[in-house]
Amino acid sequence: MKILVTGGAGFIGSHLVDELVEKGHEVAVIDNLSTGKKDNLNPNAEFHELDINSDGIVDILKNGNFTHVIHQAAQVRVTRSLEDPVLDATSNIVGSINLLENCRRYGVERFVYGNSGGAMSGNQDNLPMKESHPVSPESPYGVSKHTVEHYLAIYNKLYNLDYVSLRYPNVYGPRQDSSGEGGVVAIFCNKLVNDERPVIFGDGEQTRDFTYVKDVVNATVMALEKGSGEFNISTSRETSVNELYEKLLEISGKNMEPVHGNEREGELRRSVLDNSKAMEGLGWEPIVSLDEGLKLTFDYFNRRKE
């Protein structure tokens, strides 16, 4: 397969590129390095430093003979989407359409989209949440990420472009951003390795479906060949922020009380995605336990500090 990965210098995208290269695929990456890092780039993948909204996309798709596109590039910060919804929509909606237009013009067969399961739903009624749960985003980011699914359905209807949209939960693992709006696992690990006390917002009983990046990558690679439509990619297990912190404390061998901050406005109380459709439709299942994944992630941040 000849595969184009957008966002291939980012957290999930770079792990994905490593796996595709390892499997012997020919891979090219488009990334504007807005949050992605050059250090994450796989040297065996061709790299184009480019915005998905730029005209340069035309030549890359025209000359690349790509059969498959995996679209991970996005403005990923919820707070940024609230401050600047135009930028968020330009990147996530218009950029995706620009990509889709060039895919259909230049013969791409299949398009795999990295979507967000939690951001599109708001507070969830029936847990774990199925793909059929009503859409009710709480942020411009949730709207922009979800909107692309409508374009995927239309491009499929009008131009026969096969697609899969993978709805990710809270993905964690090495290379995740540990700054202000990064993932909670990365932030906690970074604080603990630096002997700083992490902040737990509210009572810490809010829950998330923490899924290790390697499992998400496996599902995304499988979706290159299987499935059609939307799939939750998740563990289907709820873990509270307090439980997560306890596990990381144990792994770190440290004894540090967290700081308790105010509950964050608009934060979901519980979020967990039902993965049964992906287990049946893609033949995928998560294999990395939370304990194992947290250990791998903590070790990465610990090594990086040295």
Ligand X SMILES: NC(=O)c1ccc[n+]([C@@H]2O[C@H](COP(=O)([O-])OP(=O)(O)OC[C@H]3O[C@@H](n4cnc5c(N)ncnc54)[C@H](O)[C@@H]3O)[C@@H](O)[C@H]2O)c1
Active-site annotation, residues: 141
Q: Which stretch binds ligand X (CB under 6 A): 7-15, 122-130, 273-281, 292-300?
A: 7-15
Give yes or no for residue 33 binding ligand X (CB under 6 A). yes
Task: Read off the tokens for 127.
Answer: 């847990």
Q: Which stretch binds ligand X (CB under 6 A): 32-40, 200-208, 236-244, 253-261?
A: 32-40
Q: Which stretch binds ligand X (CB under 6 A): 1-9, 103-111, 132-140, 254-262?
A: 1-9
The residues facing 164 across adjacent strands are 112, 229
Q: Smallest distance from the beta carbon of 12 to ligand X, in angstroms?
A: 4
Q: Smallest distance from the beta carbon of 303 to ligand X, in angstroms?
A: 19
Q: Which stretch binds ligand X (CB under 6 A): 47-55, 61-69, 242-250, 268-276?
A: 47-55
The span from the CA of 180 to the CA of 76, in Å, is 13
Q: Smallest distance from the beta carbon of 116 to ligand X, in angstroms?
A: 4
Which residues, 6 or more positions from 164, have their beta carbon under 8 angstroms from its beta carbon? 110, 111, 112, 113, 223, 227, 228, 229, 230, 231
The alpha-carbon radius of gyration of the chain (Å, integer) is 19
Q: Smallest distance from the beta carbon of 253 to ligand X, in angstroms?
A: 27
Q: Which stretch binds ligand X (CB under 6 A): 33-41, 120-128, 156-164, 217-225?
A: 33-41
Give yes or no for residue 116 binding ligand X (CB under 6 A). yes
Whether 197 and 256 have beta carbons less than 8 Å apart is answered as yes
Give yes or no for residue 120 binding ligand X (CB under 6 A). no
| Beta-carbon-side half-sphere exposure of residue 128 (alpha carbons within 13 Å) | 19
The span from the CA of 265 to the CA of 91, in Å, is 25
* Binding track, positions 158-177, relative to ligand X; x by CB under 6 A: ----------x-xx------
Give yes or no for residue 256 binding ligand X (CB under 6 A). no
The span from the CA of 1 to the CA of 24, in Å, is 9
Amino acid letter for position 198: P
Residue 257 burial (CB < 10 Å; 0-12/13-18/19+)?
exposed
**Member of 9, 184, 223, 290 binding ligand X (CB under 6 A):** 9
Give yes or no for residue 42 binding ligand X (CB under 6 A). no
Q: CA separation (Å) from 116 to 100, 164, 249, 271, 280? A: 19, 13, 28, 12, 20
Q: Which is nearer to ligand X, 78 or 200 (CB)?
A: 78
The span from the CA of 280 to the CA of 135, in Å, is 23
**Which parts of the chain are beta strand (E)?**
2-6, 26-31, 46-49, 68-71, 110-116, 162-168, 170-172, 199-201, 207-208, 210-212, 229-232, 239-240, 259-261
* Binding track, positions 54-83, relative to ligand X; x by CB under 6 A: ------------------xxxxx-------
Give yes or no for residue 297 binding ligand X (CB under 6 A). no
**Member of 145, 208, 214, 277 binding ligand X (CB under 6 A):** 145
Give yes or no for residue 51 binding ligand X (CB under 6 A). yes
What region, left, alpha or beta, does residue 152 occupy, with left being phi > 0 and alpha being psi -120 to 50 degrees? Answer: alpha
Give yes or no for residue 25 binding ligand X (CB under 6 A). no
* Binding track, positions 81-110, relative to ligand X; x by CB under 6 A: ----------x---x---------------
The binding site for ligand X (CB under 6 A) comprises 6-7, 9-13, 30-36, 51-53, 72-76, 91, 95, 114, 116, 145, 168, 170-171, 183
